[in-house]
Structure 1
Amino acid sequence: MIEMEHFSKRIAEIRHRVEKACERAGRSPDEVNIVAVTKYVDTEITNQVMNAGCLHIGESRVQQAVPKWKQLGDRGTWHFIGHLQRNKAKDIVGRFEYLHALESLQLAAELDKRCAALSTKIKCFIQVNVSGEKTKFGISPAELNDFAGSMANFSHIELAGLMTMAPNTPDREEVRPVFRELRHLQKELQRQQFAVPHLSMGMSQDFEVAIEEGATFVRLGSILVGTSS
């Protein structure tokens, strides 16, 4: 119970900050979904986070994520938020509703095949490497139109939107152009009649800026659940 109260307080504080960011941007807080990134904590802590009311759960390590899902998967909405190798696609299909890191057509084909076998679908964010950092995954902005068009070939993939990761910097204003550019790319796709309703961007250090620039999913780890295994 102490743990649940601890996380309830953290979630309340974060929701207050979300509300303030939305107020600055003239948005409704109802537009913003908080994904608790639980990849560094165990199943019990993940359970406490869910008990405290955060039911969007983000994982990025298949070996740790699947056992958690087997115990808690029926309680919330599960997001796979990390780089996914094709040979691990079978482990998330049918378990995770969202994938935030679709960045190759080969992975899309594997996901589509696995989903077809289970008569299910998966909602995917196209990961765009807006910052151009070599250490980050994702397609380039120049590739986005063709990549999004190719999604029509995969009947079991539903485009959820776009995702990016900003540079890791203490200067929050330095990341604003990255988030703003992803929003611009979303608008360009929408003008071409692509259904890309959501933006997954913003983490513990920069989620308020991301919200001000249009994020609808923010991925919060250390600020919400901590980093201890």
Structure 2
Amino acid sequence: MDIPQNLQRVQARLRSAEQRYGRAPGSVQLLAVSKTQPVEALRAALEAGQRAFGENYLQEALDKQQALAGQGAEWHFIGALQSNKTRDVAAHFDWCHTVDRLKIARRLSQQRPDDKPPLNICIQVNVSGEASKAGVAPAETAELATQIAELPGLRLRGLMALPAPAEGFSAQRRPLAALRELQQTLVSSGLALDTLSMGMSGDLEAAVAEGSTIVRVGTAIFGPRRAAQAQG
């Protein structure tokens, strides 16, 4: 598995999409989804210039952070977040993309260490209305965003979504457009939001076309995902 070459391919695809859809060069950040990947794979990505890594499983992520301490990695928590995980997420991550309840946001706020900058927060929105997916309903997002924006120790940056898989470019764009329009509504109401975390390997171009600022890519960088061990 040639991780540096894979990163080059994904970055080229990203830059091409930026150009095609009138986005400023470098305006979309690549988040390398590294869950279940070994430390050696992340180290290879770091050596190739990748800095932002997305992790779903807390204990696995903490082990990787310890192994890679001091190497300039930026850590994004992108997994399901229960109350018993908030202390470690607040203490050890730079971003959390999966906040969908005020209770979780309050715990992150209370538990963010005073010597760290505010934790960057994205609200996860269930933009496709899937019963099996986490996320706040679009109609309830504005109230939650207003409440989170007032919490100390946090910086509300924007919205995140995992839309239902869709075939075809137009079908992929529809839920992403809905998330962008929701964010624009929140900005119009006075919230200072600058982030749309949306788009993965299969819909990267559609996400860039609809204004994504962070795309989350795993397999195209690291290869097939390893079986997850029991995670805490």
Give the TM-score band, short-chain normalised: over 0.9
Q: For residues 119 and 210 of structure 1, do their structure 2 counterparts lie closer, same or farther at Cα, with a shift above 3 Å needed?
A: closer
> In 1, are the aligned partners of 2:219 and 2:225 still within 8 Å (CA)?
no
1:112-143 Cα deviation digits (max 9, x unpaired): 11015666521000111111011111001100
1:1-50 Cα deviation digits (max 9, x unpaired): xx6xx222111111111122111211113111000000021111111111
Give aligned pairs, total. Answer: 225
- The corresponding residue for 1:52 is 48
1:60-101 Cα deviation digits (max 9, x unpaired): 101211100111143211100111111111112221100010
In 1, the alpha carbon distance for the partners of 2:107 and 2:153 equals 11
2:26 pairs, out of 23, 26, 30, with 30
Counterpart of 2:32 in 1: which secondary structure?
Answer: strand
Amino acid at match of 1:38: S
In 1, the alpha carbon distance for the partners of 2:32 and 2:88 equals 20
- The corresponding residue for 1:121 is 118
- The corresponding residue for 2:67 is 71
Counterpart of 2:123 in 1: which secondary structure?
Answer: strand
Structure 1 alignment gaps of length 5 or more = none
Listed as ranges, the matches of 1:174-213 within 5 Å are: 174-213=171-210
Counterpart of 1:179 in 2: which secondary structure?
Answer: helix
In 1, the alpha carbon distance for the partners of 2:14 and 2:117 equals 33
In 2, the alpha carbon distance for the partners of 1:44 and 1:93 equals 25
Q: How many Å apart are 1:149 and its aligned residue?
A: 1.0
Identity level (%): 34
- The corresponding residue for 1:16 is 12
Q: For residues 41 and 116 of structure 1, do their structure 2 counterparts lie closer, same or farther at Cα, with a shift above 3 Å needed?
A: closer
TM superposition outliers: structure 1 runs of 4+ over 6 Å: none
- The corresponding residue for 2:154 is 157
Q: For residues 152 and 53 of structure 1, do their structure 2 counterparts lie closer, same or farther at Cα, with a shift above 3 Å needed?
A: closer
- The corresponding residue for 2:106 is 109
Q: How many Å apart are 1:157 and its aligned residue?
A: 1.0
TM-score normalised to structure 1 length: 0.93
Q: For residues 206 and 73 of structure 1, do their structure 2 counterparts lie closer, same or farther at Cα, with a shift above 3 Å needed?
A: farther
2:77 pairs, out of 77, 80, 86, with 80
> In 1, are the aligned partners of 2:98 and 2:122 still within 8 Å (CA)?
yes
Q: For residues 199 and 24 of structure 1, do their structure 2 counterparts lie closer, same or farther at Cα, with a shift above 3 Å needed?
A: same
